[in-house]
Structure 1
Amino acid sequence: MTAAMYVPTFYVKQKFAMISNRYELLAANPDGSFGDLLGFAEQKKMAFKEQVTFYLDPAKTRPVFGFKARSVMELSAGYDVTDEAGNQIGFFKKDFGASLMRSTYRLEGPGYTGTGQERSQAVALVRRFVNLPLPIHFDYVDAGGAPLMSVERQGGIKDKYTVRVPDQRVDFRVAAAVAVAMDAMMDR
């Protein structure tokens, strides 16, 4: 089964803003360079109930998908990913118990469930004590251990992520929501 919106590789670029995090979703050209704009999101820092809407463009002319926390106060409640009409197309949440040593997330979508975890235990431990722009890589696998997606952050002042989605069941909108949420949850 192939997702309604499947994109095998794309980029997430964070744009600097004082009171919000801004993200551009960009296609990956065959040569690895940035391609067309696939979407734009803005997340208010320190929002009481986490909700992020993705738009067609920075002018916010048309909302196309989003994610929203299920609960205001419960840290492990999780987030629903919804399409343009508000229909749920995926779900993710941080596994706080497993994340003490290495950040871990749970991911669900039509036809799959999976777990994502920081690739390097050493980087995970250093990151907890020092705020440096370290490269952070997350790998998501399904219940059988097959790769679902990966999110790789390149070190630098402005965050840039490469998102690879080898599993065609994972919708682009779910992968993009997870990548942006991970950045926001790590308070980058």
Structure 2
Amino acid sequence: MELAALQAQQRLLVRQKITLMVNRYVVHVEEADGSEGPMVAFVEQKRLAFKEQVTLYTDESRGQVLAGFKARKVIDLGSGYDVVDDAGQPIGYFKKDFRASLLRSTWHLQQPGLPTITGRERNFAVSLVRRFIDELSWLPYHFDFGVGAHLAFSVERKWSIRDRYTVTINDPRLDRRLVIAMAIALDALQSR
């Protein structure tokens, strides 16, 4: 899918593929009936890497890079992640707010030319249960990202054996590659 067509999308589906040594995700457009439409990204994250680096490809052939994100520091609970395009040019940045995340997971996302967007778990009760009862980590959770009362986008984990998310984008100015990177990070990096 061309970048302009991707940028026009308002709903995406993210699904994790089960593998042993690599986290893999596929991202599709969500059709009006809720089904998977065309694939827009294929994502791989190596597990147990000293410095997180995740690459987003245009499809499973891994022939063309769509974007990627990489940790700024090797080991740091408050490390940020730079998001770059296929040519390595910056398109944004996100960071977990470690202190605020002790009770309710909170992230900050920046895209040049836009105010900082803050995302946090929608349901405070679910966030507390997930922290204190590890066996319930499969509970669906929802993140809302916005500035004040303006909702820029949301990521909702669905009930499923495998991790599945619906991403709804309300702000047309947001770079979809940055939104996809943040959605993947919520799954791949959330428990760290």
Distance 1:93 1:72, change over 3 A: same
The structure 2 residue matched to 1:45, chosen from 47, 65, 71, is: 47
Corresponding letter in the other structure for 2:166: T
The correspondence of residues 95-174 of structure 1 with structure 2, limited to 5 A, is 95-110=97-112, 111-128=114-131, 129-132=133-136, 133-142=138-147, 144-174=148-178
Task: Say whether the 8 Å CA contact 1:148–1:167 is kept in structure 2.
Answer: yes
Give the deviation of 1:14 after TM superposition: 0.3
1:182 corresponds to: 186
Corresponding letter in the other structure for 2:16: Q
Question: When the two structures are superposed, what TM-score results if normalisation uses the length of structure 2?
Answer: 0.91
Q: Distance in 2 between matches of 1:46 and 1:127?
A: 23
Question: What SS does the aligned partner of 2:126 have?
Answer: helix
Corresponding letter in the other structure for 2:145: Y
Q: Deviations over 1:94-137 (max 9, x none)?
A: 00000000100001113231100001111111111223321100
Range 158-167 or range 128-137, more displaced? 128-137
Give the deviation of 1:170 after TM superposition: 1.1
| Backbone CA RMSD of aligned residues | 1.6
Task: Say whether the 8 Å CA contact 1:25–1:38 is kept in structure 2.
Answer: yes
Work out the percentage of aligned pairs sharing the same amino acid. 49
Give the deviation of 1:20 after TM superposition: 1.1
Q: Distance in 2 between matches of 1:173 and 1:7?
A: 11
Question: What SS does the aligned partner of 1:96 have?
Answer: coil
Task: Say whether the 8 Å CA contact 1:134–1:156 is kept in structure 2.
Answer: no
Distance 1:108 1:87, change over 3 A: same
Corresponding letter in the other structure for 2:22: S
Question: What SS does the aligned partner of 2:116 have?
Answer: strand
The correspondence of residues 3-152 of structure 1 with structure 2, limited to 5 A, is 5-110=7-112, 111-128=114-131, 129-132=133-136, 133-142=138-147, 144-152=148-156
Give the deviation of 1:7 after TM superposition: 2.2
Unaligned runs of 5+ in 2: none
Corresponding letter in the other structure for 1:92: F
Task: Say whether the 8 Å CA contact 1:119–1:137 is kept in structure 2.
Answer: yes
Question: What SS does the aligned partner of 2:125 have?
Answer: helix
Q: Distance in 1 between matches of 2:107 and 2:157?
A: 16
Question: What SS does the aligned partner of 2:177 have?
Answer: helix
Corresponding letter in the other structure for 1:135: P
Give the deviation of 1:6 after TM superposition: 4.1
Question: When the two structures are superposed, what TM-score results if normalisation uses the length of structure 1?
Answer: 0.93
